[in-house]
Amino acid sequence: MAASVFEQALARVQTALLAATPADDRVDRARDDAYADDELPALNIRRQDTGADAIGNGGERHILAFTLECNVQGGETEADALHMDAHDVLLADPQLATAGRGLRCTGTEIQTAVADFPSARLTARYQIQLFVRPGNLTRAVT
């Protein structure tokens, strides 16, 4: 069975980010386990809700929401720097731009901790529009 346009877009987000930021190959999808200090920096992509609107009889516009968790040793400044690196990669990716339209960051949230070492996680919320033909959620219309 083919993957949905939602999963295709998130797979592209992950592929674009692999080895393109200081997180290197530590780019996960929906990781629930905490990161150890030797696993930082790391990125974690999580699918959020979707919504849809009909465009006449011939198309649908779906909004895919996802979060990008930027996990670092250090504090807010280091987490923000990793986010900006990842943000630039995503906005510059031509395949992601073809798969959907209007990728944008809709907000961020920061969490910091000081245990054995200071760490921070900046969670950036994103949205992207995906266009499909009615009834076919496996192929984006570009």
Q: Which amino acid is at 57?
A: N
Q: How far apart are CA 10 and CA 46, in angstroms?
A: 8
The answer, as to whether pTM is greater than 0.75, is yes
Chain length of the chain: 142
Residues paired with residue 119 on neighbouring β-strands, in sequence order = 73, 113
- ∠ CA 23-29-33 to the nearest 5 degrees? 85
Mean pLDDT by 10 residues, the chain (142 residues): 91 98 98 94 96 89 97 96 98 94 97 84 97 91 82
Residue 12 has a pLDDT of 97
Residue 74 has a pLDDT of 94
Q: How far apart are CA 61 and CA 8, in angstroms?
A: 16
Residue with tokens 């040793």: 73
